[in-house]
Amino acid sequence: MSKTIKTTCPYCGVGCGVLATLKDGQVSVKGDPDHPANKGRLCSKGSALAETLALDGRLLKPVVHSAETTWDNALDEVATRFKQTIAKHGPDSIALYVSGQLLTEDYYVANKLMKGFMGTANIDTNSRLCMASSVAGHKRAFGADTVPGNYEDLEQADLLVLVGSNLAWCHPVLYQRVAAAKAARPNMRIINIDPRHTATSDLADLHLAVAPGSDVALFNHLLCAIHEQGAVDSAYVAAHVNGFDAALEAASSGDVSVTGLPRADIDAFTRAWVGTEKVVTIYSQGVNQSTAGADKVNAILNCHLATGRIGRAGMGPFSVTGQPNAMGGREVGGLANMLACHMDLENAGHRATVREFWQAPQMPDAAGLKAVDMFRAVGDGRIKALWVMCTNPVVSLPEADRVKEAIEGCDFVVVSDMYGDTDTAKLADVLLPATGWGEKTGTVTNSERCISRQRSFLPAPGEARHDWDVLADVGRRMGWQAAFDYETPAEVLREYAALSGLAAGHGRDFDISALSDLSNEDYDDFTPQHWPISADRNGGRFFADGQFYTPSGKANMLPLHHRSPANAPTAAHPFVLNTGRIRDQWHTMSRSGLAPRLSQHMGEPYVEIHPRDAEDLGLKAADLAEVTSPHGRAVLRVLISDKMRRGEVFAPMHWTGTHASDGRIDALVAAEVDPVSGQPESKASPVKITKLQAA
Ligand code: SF4
């Protein structure tokens, strides 16, 4: 007897459909040919999912102060301590740090509990490290956080520009779709803008190895070229765009030489962009993870708005999200400065709508602490009770050593996780066992706004419970029975869909109100759908009609100026460290590290360095190097490669401090953030590199 379940991959924001087959107690997976994101494809990580389902290391029972206990005891402890902390120190003395791995239903209940009932906006997500600058850029330009296009646009474009995106490793199935489109359409051109020569650069017709942090200068220069070469769509700008003159004036004062690019390459780029109507500009962490991240996003959007190349087939800006449900988290207000359904916490009308809908006793009227500031507040004692759900900030936040110290010093720490031995879980007062992929059930939204189901096909191990259920239980124990009286995730989705219909009344674009009367059976059978999903609209592109979500209905072009990364290299720390993902691992490897074949690609943490820099430092391939910054230290295997610019090194972000060589890269990264988005600068940290001497 075998049974096949349709579900969605839990790794990246491509959001591939997966067929999981259970036969004789064994699970196998393959790509779902009917899913619009992948049409049957899977990458190496997705293909190895079945190998990550072993129960080794799983947390099976709640733990309070190192002793196993019952759920009743554990959740009473959580509810009591949070209640006492709020009573004594006020609602802003507590915080919840969540994850783009959570399902939309988990995220919705978490936001409702914190913002509507506990009375604080101190809920933020590890997606802050991933795409917050894109959210900020969209809101500034469009008036709401909206991805205009879809994956098909990438295949239909005549010119695809990838900025700070190693699609080949970080969004592999989307890359496969692009590669197939390019093979089928030889005239399609690809330009890759990235300080490193990556696997994605191999597919490109032109690779621009820009200096780190110089994207605003490059796209400002492009805006000037668009103007000088007569490519501004004046009718479109007059009808649909504010701020063109100021944006052009600011761009004209810039100096493209800071990009460090040969003039011929810059000219080839601007010629191609200006001369191609169907152009898609994809951007990812190389743009977002910067102290100028929001400006970089808006510099890209400026060029699309000036030419009217947005909202039509095969053209537009496109932000690819890192995590499987970063988009779903955005939709339900999973960031400290947002409410559900793309409504704004700081808008009194939006607040009133949500408060009335939730029948919430209280609601903050200002943004809460964003991820980096949240852990600063944990460190200086402003946050006295912290709940971390489905993420591992001791490894993944900048200045990770300081984050570890902060959590160690916090009065009360709750961690909900599948595993009890993560670097963060080890610091918890209360550990709550969570269900994971294959056990959970709910919805996720991918980078192109496609909502898909994750479905369970395995029983919850031990006493593990779903995150939405645990959050709702804590809400009930704190006295809000009616508001958190959910029995199924379908109920949560229906409530959230109904709220989205009210948000539409505020002119917000997120509307899935057609799902508000979805039956439990329809929820079970739900097939992937792109939002919006309402009575009069189903999916499609945004902004085709030139209408935006600003008060004037016009999009905003912004005046922008190049700003260098926050910290420049110094004599003591002369190299620039760029961090990122590798092809076959995911985040801090708690799941992908369980599949032996995924470790065959890159088996240990490494630092990639230019051959001449390695020679100057006396480093040979496979030596161990000590990499230090003012904030921490890592020990990494040396990989010598001419794909790096001189003076710059790359190290993957996945490894934890428990590996033989200490690869906790975020211990080296300074907690410098973009002033608009709060996203940390993970791609430009000054470091020193020395050969590790034998003890
Ligand atoms: Fe999963 Fe992303 Fe690979 Fe698709 S591309 S199988 S979503 S990791």
Nearest to 467 by CA among 437, 495, 494: 437
pLDDT level of residue 659 (50, 70, 90 thresholds): very low
Ligand 1 atom with the smallest distance to the CA of 18 is 6
Say how many Å lie between the CA of residue 543 and the centre of ligand 1: 28
Q: Is the pTM of this model over 0.90?
A: yes
Instruction: Indicate the pairing of strand 159-163 with strand 189-193.
Output: parallel
Q: What is the mean pLDDT of residues 638-662?
A: 83
Give the residue, by CA position, lying nearest to ligand 1 atom 2: 12
Atom of ligand 1 nearest to the CA of 43: 3
Give the span between the Cα atoms of 357 and 341, in whole angstroms.
13
**Can you give the three-state secondary structure of 115-183, one letter per residue?**
HHHHCCCCEEEHHHHCCHHHHHHHHHHHCCCCCCCCHHHHHHCCEEEEECCCHHHHCHHHHHHHHHHHH
Is the pLDDT score of 373 beyond 90? yes
Is the confidence at residue 56, as pLDDT, over 90? no
- Given a cut of 80, whether residue 657 has pLDDT beyond it is no
Q: Is the CB of 173 under 6 A from ligand 1?
A: yes
How do residues 488-526 score in pLDDT, each as one tens digit? 999 999 999 999 999 888 877 778 999 999 999 999 999
Instruction: With cut-offs at 50, 70 and 90, classify the pLDDT of residue 70.
Output: very high
Q: Which amino acid is at 589?
A: M
For the chain, percent of residues with pLDDT exceeding 90: 84
| In the predicted structure, residue 201 carries a pLDDT above the cut 50 | yes
* Ligand 1 pocket, residue 46 CB under 6 Å: yes
> Which parts of 479-557 are beta strand (E)?
529-530, 533-534, 537-538, 555-556
CA of 216 to the centre of ligand 1 (A): 30
341 pocket-lining for ligand 1 (C-beta < 6 Å): no
CB count, 10 Å around CB of 138? 25
Residue 174 Cα: closest atom of ligand 1: 5
Multiple choice CATH, 63-127+328-537, 3.40.50.740, 3.40.50.300, 3.40.50.1400, 3.40.1190.20: 3.40.50.740
| Cβ of residue 11 lying under 6 Å from some atom of ligand 1 | yes
Over residues 421-454, the pLDDT tens digits come to 899 999 999 999 999 999 999 999 999 999 999 9
Pocket test for ligand 1, best of 151, 173, 589 (most atoms within 8 A of CB): 173
Give yes or no on whether 63-127+328-537 and 132-320 have one common fold.
Answer: no
598 within ligand 1 shell (Cβ under 6 A): no
| Average pLDDT value for residue range 301-319 | 97
Confidence band, pLDDT 50/70/90 cuts, at residue 695? low
351-354 long-range Cβ contacts below 8 angstroms, 24+ apart: 353/502, 353/503, 353/505, 353/506, 354/115, 354/116, 354/499
Strand partners, 97: 124, 388
- The minimum-distance atom of ligand 1 relative to the CA of 38 is 4
Confidence of residue 606 (pLDDT cuts 50, 70, 90): very high
Q: 346-367 pLDDT, tens per residue?
A: 999 999 999 999 999 989 999 9
Radius of gyration of the chain (CA): 24
Mean pLDDT for all residues in the chain = 94
Residue of the nearest CA to atom 3 in ligand 1?
A: 43
Query: Which fold, 2-52?
Result: Phosphorylase Kinase; domain 1 (3.30.200)
Over the stretch 161-171, which tens digit does the pLDDT of each residue have?
999 999 999 99
Q: Is the pLDDT of residue 157 over 90?
A: yes
Which of 12, 321, 323, 587 has most ligand 1 atoms within 8 Å of its beta carbon, as the pocket-test mutant? 12
In this structure, are residues 16 and 44 in contact, taking their beta carbons and an 8 Å threshold? no
Task: Give the pLDDT confidence score for residue 600 in this predicted structure.
Answer: 86
Which range is least confidently modeled, 2-11, 319-328, 351-360, 372-381?
319-328
CATH fold group of domain 132-320: Dimethylsulfoxide Reductase; domain 2 (3.40.228)
**Ligand 1 centre distance from Cα of residue 135 (Å):** 22
Question: How many residues does this entry show for the chain?
Answer: 695
User: For atom 4 of ligand 1, which residue has the closest CA?
Assistant: 16
C-alpha to C-alpha distance for 163 and 296, rounded to whole angstroms = 10
30 has pLDDT over 50 = yes
CA 683 – CA 567 distance, rounded (Å) = 11
Are the beta carbons of 277 and 116 closer than 8 angstroms?
Answer: no
Q: Is the pLDDT assigned to residue 665 strictly greater than 90?
A: no
Rounded distance from Cα 455 to ligand 1 centre (Å): 16
DSSP code of residue 389: E
Determine the distance separating the centroid of ligand 1 and the alpha carbon of 593, expressed in angstroms: 16
Q: Find, among 559, 384, 397, 458, the residue nearest to 20 by Cα.
A: 458
Alpha helices in 483-566 (DSSP H): 489-504, 520-525
Going from N- to C-terminal start, the domains of the chain cover 2-52, 63-127+328-537, 132-320, 575-691
Distance, in Å, from the CA atom of 207 to the CA atom of 199, rounded to the nearest integer, reads 11
Contact assessment for residue 134 and residue 141, using Cβ atoms and an 8 Å cutoff: no
The CA 604 to ligand 1 mean position distance, Å, reads: 22
Index of the ligand 1 atom closest to the CA of residue 324: 7
Q: Is the CB of 9 under 6 A from ligand 1?
A: yes
Do residues 82 and 423 touch, judged by C-beta distance below 8 A?
no
Instruction: Please say if the pLDDT value at position 658 is more than 50.
Output: no
pLDDT tens digit sequence for 91-149: 999 999 999 899 999 999 999 999 999 999 999 999 899 899 999 999 999 998 889 99
Q: How confident is the model at residue 535 (pLDDT cuts 50, 70, 90)?
A: confident
Instruction: State yes or no: pLDDT of 653 exceeds 90.
Output: no
Q: How far apart are CA 312 and CA 308, in angstroms?
A: 9
What backbone torsions phi and psi does residue 385 show, to the nearest 5 degrees?
A: -140, 125
Peptide bond before residue 611 is cis, with ω within 30 degrees of 0: no
User: What pLDDT score does 348 carry?
Assistant: 94
Write the CA distances from 352 to 111, 357, 480, 667, integer angstroms: 16, 8, 19, 41
Query: Is the CB of residue 320 below 6 angstroms from any atom belonging to ligand 1?
Result: no
Nearest by Cα to 291 from 221, 212, 222, 368: 212
Please state the atom number of ligand 1 nearest to the C-alpha of residue 172: 5
And the tokens for 506? 């505020």
**Which CATH architecture best describes the domain 575-691?**
Beta Barrel (2.40)
**Among candidates 53, 6, 12, which has minimal Cα distance to 32?**
6
Summarize the confidence of residues 522-540 as an average pLDDT: 88
Q: 452 CA to middle of ligand 1, Å?
A: 14
Ligand 1 atom nearest 47 alpha carbon? 6
The token pair that represents 388 in the structure block: 């971390």
pLDDT surpasses 50 at 661? no
Where is 92: in which H helix or E strand? none
